[in-house]
Structure 1
Amino acid sequence: MKIALTGGTGLVGRFLAEAARAAGHQVTLLSRSPPPDGLRYDLAGEVPDLAGHDALIHAAFQHEPGRYRGGEGTDPVGFLAANRDGSLRLFAAARAAGLARALFLSTRAVYGDHPAGTVLAEGLDLRPDTLYGQMKADVEQGLAALSSPNFSTASLRATGVYGPGPGHKWTGLFADFRAGRPIAPRVATEVHGDDLAAAALLLLEAPAETLAPQAFNVSDLTLDLHDLLAEVARLTGCAAPLPPRADAARVSAMDCTRLRALGWQPGGWPRLRASLPAMLD
């Protein structure tokens, strides 16, 4: 399969690029600074010619550095113009170019202000309470409207994505812990980048009727920083105090039954433990 991929050089998108190539697919990276075999693309600009590709995975996201929620900074208009309008323009161009399938990297933030402890299933009403979540919900709905018998679509509502790589999401956390700085209690849902990539590849190859079009939750662990940093302490010998446990009842778990029914099996704690040494180098 020949896959066009946006965001493939980012902290999350690189997992998608590596997994697709490892599975034998040909990947064309769309970015502002593409490799020689890629295509120049900016969310705020024109869409390059995608003819000849079979599928599109859209993982690019323009935001203030280090921020997702609140990623609009002081420019909400520009944020929406790039991320909402640019994404819908990209999907429309993919359909016009004859691609058979398109996937969108969405987020659990589309569920928004459901009460803490609510089990988040894909059939719940979307109640985004941030501009980031609203933008993702708008793109999901716009992509679904483009779906047709010849252009199947799906959105992956991913939770926080972790995994090895330069500047990974816990770089600052691990540095603070090892330096003995206090860590605030927190518990959250997480998924390894390799498991997210496995979900995307599964949806690229699944029968079109299973997409339908619809969204798929992508989440694995409900992870307390106390437990994560206990593993860091075990691996490094760090004697810094662990943060207290957070209230797990305040976390809304994501129901991934729909994705698991297609054969998706995330790596859980074994994958997290196996990844930590590389994340601590």
Structure 2
Amino acid sequence: MTTVPSLALNNGVTMPQLGFGVFQADPSETARAVETALATGYRHIDTAAAYFNEREVGEGIRRSGLDRDQVFVETKVWATDYGHHRTRHAFDKAAAKLGVETIDLLILHQPVPLRFDRTIEAYKGLEDLLEAGEVRAIGVSNFMPEHLERLIASTDVVPAVNQIEVHPYFRQTAAQQANAEHGVVSQAWSPIGGITFYPGWGGDDRRSTLQDPVIGEISKAHGRTPAQVMLRWHLQQGRSAIPKSTDPGRIAENFDVFGFELTAADLARIDALDTGVRSGPDPETLDPDRSPLVIPEA
């Protein structure tokens, strides 16, 4: 079975570079999808409290028969659970739903710049969990360079990971550079541009990266699918990527990205597709006080 290469985080913990995501996976399908992904060879599962499927992720991991230390488990604290002590309880909820004692990577889901004092306190809660050994690494998600700078200036532990929207149509060059300058791994959500064609995300005029002619030409030249080419682009540029699917065929396809190499010219052509336009939610605008999402107890 193929072994996924690992990335060394800034605290010495290693993380499989290619992970399996479950964003928008229906809870009724999640356990089966996770079990299938682990049977395929994935060893890194990414979920979040706000996905409402942590319990099913845990069930899929148990069904796999793998030992706990063989699966890298990542989840996220939602903004309504921000605060020093509230974040501790958020860990308790997540760990109970996942059925684990230790979470490998626990991250804050949003920067919430309108309430950044709470974000700072939440991150300090993560630092406590890290010191206690209840999480192995901590990080953030959707943090832009200014958010990252403010966080680092007010806390003790530099985030290990920043999970951000990255795909060929939105490279987030400035965010990736800021991450690199601080030794933070950039982790791509929507790595094959799924945000550009998911129903319910924006208008009908969005172009799917899967239909892009440049990516199509590159995929044809390598005898690979567009999704495989995009994932290979992430891996060769040093990012972590967490593709999502509940279809067994697609799960296998997205994992089969280690038997070919894109050329420097291929990478440059994909880089040039960047539109600079965000397809997902703008992290500047989230205000949990105005649209509260309550994370249920375990």
Structure with more of its chain in helix, by fraction: 2
Could you say which structure has the greater relative contact order, defined with CA pairs below 8 angstroms and 6 or more residues apart? 2
Q: TM-score, normalised by structure 1?
A: 0.33
